[in-house]
Amino acid sequence: MPLFLKPIFFEKIWGGNKLNQFNYDIPSEQTGECWGISAHPNGKNMIENGQYAGQTLDQVWNDHRELFGDFPSKDFPLLCKIVDARHPLSIHVHPDDSYAYEFENGQYGKSECWYIIDAEEDAEIILGTSADSKETFENKIKEDAVLDAVERIKVKPGEFYFIPAGMLHSIGSGVLVYETMQSSDISYRVYDYERNRTDGSSLEVSKALDVIQFTANAPTIVPETTIVENHKRSQIVSNDFFTMVKWEISGTLNYMKPREFCLISVLEGRGQVITDGEIFKLEKGSNFILTSEDLDSVFEGEFTLIISYI
């Protein structure tokens, strides 16, 4: 039986109200993030159906690892979220696994991939820095000239961007993004548009300078698109951390899981998934996991899915 998850919302100083497009009851007009699939300590989704209803995903991960093919990892490895940036996010960077393990209590680092769901005209993201060294960028920070040392990219709906650990980045105003990432909530911010935060968070320039890769360019993603049973399958990225695939389904798809468990979010449309004879309704905003017990799955309807797995 698939595990359907109750979303968790986070209000942010830069958030908006576009997450209500996904049939969500958002808490305010400054809702910046929906964590759709997460077992991270900062946001644990609750199971909504079946025998595990009422338990959190981390509980099921720890107590019933057989549902995940006995995956050999202490922590649930991935996190999927939607980000609504009414205003620009801080300019920040994430550490890699080795740095996070040493300096952040053995946590995962964070590499992530973005799918641009929607973007206003001339909206942009920041990926990378034009500074060629730690010293050069540190001087830009001291001069309050960080915005003069970032690489900007105008974005459109339907595009994908991979952000490896160590790449400076930010989501700009008017961009709605779906993210698959390592299960981490570590960010080192270097610039926050002179906003006064009430949550006590602050810039972490020293750690950011430790981990920024000053020679890294934003990798170009050209999805590998194939037609499977008359449905469009676009493999966005596949690396040591995760694979992320977009499916545009119209009609019936007999789906064979590529791994023991897969994380699935419905970004458009509606329909149903049938697993081992049971029917589960799907709509825009549904988030669920096909487990190792879901051997035969059939999707029926008109919808767009993002499927992520190790």
Q: What is the DSSP letter of 235?
A: E
> pTM for this structure?
0.94
Residues with Cβ within 8 Å of residue 308, at least 6 apart in sequence:
78, 80, 180, 242, 243, 244, 245, 262, 263, 264
Strand partners, 289: 3, 263
pLDDT at 199: 58
Residues with Cβ within 8 Å of residue 153, at least 6 apart in sequence:
124, 125, 126, 127, 161, 218
Q: Which residues of 10-34 are buried (b: 16+ CB within 10 A; e: fewer)?
A: bebbbbbebbebbebebeeebbbbb
Architecture of domain 224-309: Sandwich (2.60)
User: Does 94 carry a binding-site annotation?
Assistant: yes
Q: Among candidates 273, 232, 269, which has minimal Cα distance to 254?
A: 273
Question: Would you call 267 helix, strand, or coil by DSSP?
Answer: strand
The CATH classification number of 3-211 equals: 2.60.120.10
User: Does 102 carry a binding-site annotation?
Assistant: no
Q: 10-residue block means of pLDDT along the chain (310 residues)?
A: 97 96 96 97 96 97 95 93 97 93 88 96 94 91 91 94 94 97 93 72 85 79 86 91 95 93 97 93 97 93 96
Q: Measuring CA to CA, how many Å separate 85 from each of 58, 108, 148, 174, 176?
A: 28, 25, 21, 6, 6
E strands, 134-206, are 150-154, 160-163, 169-171, 175-182, 188-191
Q: What is the DSSP letter of 103?
A: H
Q: Token digits for 292?
A: 């190792």
pLDDT at 136: 92
User: Does 92 carry a binding-site annotation?
Assistant: no
Q: Is 259 a catalytic residue?
A: no
Catalytic position from the list 65, 86, 152, 189: 189
Residues of the chain with CATH 2.60.120.10: 3-211, 224-309
Q: What is the DSSP letter of 67?
A: G
pLDDT at 201: 63
